Amino acid sequence: MLTAAHLKLAIYFGPMLLIWLGYARLRAKRQRESQAVQEAAVKAGLTEPASLHPVINPNRCIGCGSCAHACPEANVLGIIGGKAYLIDPTHCIGHSACKVACPMDAISLVFGTEKRGLDIPHISPRFETNVPGLFIAGELGGMGLIRNAIEQGRQAMENVRTLDGIGKGSQLDVVIVGAGPAGFAASLAAMQHKLRFVTVEQESLGGTVAHYPRGKLVMTAPVQLPGVGKMKFTETTKEELLGFWEAVEKRTQIKLNYHERTEEITRGDQGFVVKTNRNTYQARAVLLAIGRRGTPRKLGVPGEEQTKVVYRLIDAEQYRGRHVLVVGGGDSALEAALSIADEPGTTVTLSYRSEAFSRAKEKNRVKVQAAQKAGRIQVLMKSNVKQITADQVDMEHEGQSLSLPNDDIIVCAGGILPTPFLKKIGIEVETKYGTA
């Protein structure tokens, strides 16, 4: 029989039970979502983080989820079976917020994994390599993130200023390679200190930031931009941040040489000889701020030098009403083809040399299949580009020749990593297999 005591208990403990049940259901739902993300990453073979990333000690982890909550990137860390996991390793960018948030000190931050080593160049606290006069700043040195890159670019230039021979002779004081956050900050510092410098950038201002997906939330921390003042952002978007840097570029009238790629650096009499695709420079010092994405891999076919061939998608809208070929089989190729196919009047062909999109996420493969079925994308597996002309592209598809009308080509064939370039200059590089 229900007594007044039972009723009191129910009034006291009922709400607590309901809250606990709600919490348990939410936890189970989050666990299912984390498992789905992890399975998709494993299936697509996307299991190796790009750079600095967390390793979780399961014996210490109590599954509180503080790490996943603290991580600014959605769905990179998740809780499965009461323990934290790096569920989407390729999207980890080394924010390190997880380590700080963990109450059990269960997280270590490391470079590389047992399977895939990560090459880290030797750099002194002055940001100078073992080659005197050759400096490295930003993500190439192993330490990613916008704020770190800016600060390192600034500090590296403070050290370049102290070298013998700066400001003397007819050669440049420094060539800065790259105009991502590190190279941009270094260039502003060089301008502030009236150094004689040239900055060469193979693409455009912003480096990796310019490649973020549209509208991406960017988490950073306030940092001093040399000669400009404090960059106060903590939370912003890709567009706002790039807009701010472009405004700084305009206001300061700093000269940055875009579409100029450094191809070779050799030691000269009193410094370095830097050869680019456009020029040769003599300089006392060189700052490499080239990040880790490398140089886009090219097709190596006749006609590729035309401006209609690009190596990344910036804005799908610009392809409205045009015949577009996307080359590649990874997520960036599939996502580029899908977003262009969404624009009115486009004819999109996706070409890949293998017989399956084995390195792309399942959700992208499914979307491409659906778009192919709906006639929005033509997919040519086992195909290769042979020649590009002004209004056509000649291809080989399953052994047959094929010509397509063409206005634009987007090549998403990955990048050539910078390690051989560094070794050729004589910079010592250590391969890390999951160590700090």
Ligand X SMILES: Cc1cc2nc3c(=O)[nH]c(=O)nc-3n(C[C@H](O)[C@H](O)[C@H](O)COP(=O)(O)OP(=O)(O)OC[C@H]3O[C@@H](n4cnc5c(N)ncnc54)[C@H](O)[C@@H]3O)c2cc1C
- From the list ligand SF4, ligand X, none, partner contacted by residue 52 (C-beta under 5 to 8 A by kind): none
Distant-in-sequence, close-in-space partners of 288: CB < 8 Å, separation ≥ 6: 134, 135, 136, 137, 140, 177, 178, 422
- Side chain identity at residue 86, one-letter code: L
Residue that the structure tokens 């196919």 belong to: 341
Under the criterion CB under 6 A, does residue 86 sit at the interface with ligand SF4? Answer: no
d(CA 133, CA 147): 24
d(CA 154, CA 140): 15
Residue 143 has a CB neighbour count (10 Å cut-off) of: 20
Site for ligand X in 142-171 (CB under 6 A): 144-147, 149
d(CA 156, CA 55): 30
- From the list ligand X, ligand SF4, none, partner contacted by residue 349 (C-beta under 5 to 8 A by kind): none
Q: Which helix (H) or strand (E) holds 402?
A: strand 400-405
Under the criterion CB under 6 A, does residue 80 sit at the interface with ligand SF4? Answer: no
Distant-in-sequence, close-in-space partners of 54: CB < 8 Å, separation ≥ 6: 67, 77, 86, 92, 96, 98, 99, 107, 108, 109, 110
d(CA 365, CA 347): 19
Under the criterion CB under 6 A, does residue 295 sit at the interface with ligand X? Answer: yes
Answer for which of 56, 76, 157, 289 binds ligand SF4 (CB under 6 A) is 56
Residue that the structure tokens 């080989």 belong to: 396
Would you give the end-to-end CA distance of the chain in angstroms?
65
- From the list ligand SF4, ligand X, none, partner contacted by residue 208 (C-beta under 5 to 8 A by kind): ligand X
What single DSSP character describes residue 190? H
**Region near ligand X per CB under 6 A, out of 4-12, 110-118, 198-206, 393-401:** 198-206
Under the criterion CB under 6 A, does residue 198 sit at the interface with ligand X? Answer: no
> Can you give the three-state secondary structure of 266-280, one letter per residue?
EECCCCEEEEECCCE
Under the criterion CB under 6 A, does residue 104 sit at the interface with ligand SF4? Answer: yes
**Region near ligand X per CB under 6 A, out of 174-182, 239-247, 338-346, 393-401:** 174-182
- From the list ligand SF4, ligand X, none, partner contacted by residue 146 (C-beta under 5 to 8 A by kind): ligand X
For the packed helices 331-341 and 362-373, what is the interaxial angle rounded to 10 degrees?
40
In the complex, what is the shortest distance from the CB of residue 209 to ligand X, in angstroms, rounded to a whole number? 5
- From the list ligand SF4, ligand X, none, partner contacted by residue 202 (C-beta under 5 to 8 A by kind): ligand X
What single DSSP character describes residue 433? S
**Region near ligand SF4 per CB under 6 A, out of 15-23, 29-37, 96-104, 359-367:** 96-104
In the complex, what is the shortest distance from the CB of residue 120 to ligand SF4, in angstroms, rounded to a whole number? 25
- From the list ligand SF4, ligand X, none, partner contacted by residue 220 (C-beta under 5 to 8 A by kind): ligand X
What single DSSP character describes residue 236? E
Under the criterion CB under 6 A, does residue 102 sit at the interface with ligand SF4? Answer: yes
Site for ligand X in 106-145 (CB under 6 A): 138-140, 144-145
Nearer Cβ to ligand SF4 (105/164) = 105
Distant-in-sequence, close-in-space partners of 435: CB < 8 Å, separation ≥ 6: 110, 111, 112
In the complex, what is the shortest distance from the CB of residue 56 to ligand SF4, in angstroms, rounded to a whole number? 5
- From the list ligand X, ligand SF4, none, partner contacted by residue 180 (C-beta under 5 to 8 A by kind): ligand X
- From the list ligand SF4, ligand X, none, partner contacted by residue 261 (C-beta under 5 to 8 A by kind): ligand X
In the complex, what is the shortest distance from the CB of residue 103 to ligand SF4, in angstroms, rounded to a whole number? 6
Residues that bind ligand SF4 (CB under 6 A): 56, 61-67, 84, 101-102, 104, 106-107
Residues that bind ligand X (CB under 6 A): 93, 138-140, 144-147, 149, 177-183, 200-203, 207-209, 212, 218-220, 261-262, 289-291, 293, 295
